Amino acid sequence: MSSNQATNISNRNTCLLKQAAKTVWPGLSIYCASKSAVCAITKSMAHELGSKVRVNCVCPTLMETAMTQGSIERLSAVALDRQSVKQLMLPEEAANAVLFLSSSKATMIHGENLNVDYGYLCT
């Protein structure tokens, strides 16, 4: 969404959310690079769209989904070793973060990449 496209948006409660990751996974460098790019785009778009649209990003830890089915055992061993809380995230938990950022309780949050990761990045 460009600044020109955002000119038609007059309601500050409009919210644009993205999903990314800040973790490093061996053998998945292209995937990691693309997710890191989403974090940078979030910051840039927040600056560009300013007071018209809130732009934020949710960065969840590893979740058991269709995409991770083939490698969940290998990846979860790495993730759980690095996390403070030793459990896999449920997709519903990441969705709760999205719901919060979309709500009126988060109108002051803008241009953030919210880590929802059971303490993955603090270890």
**Residues known to be catalytic:** 31
* Tokens describing residue 109: 């949050």
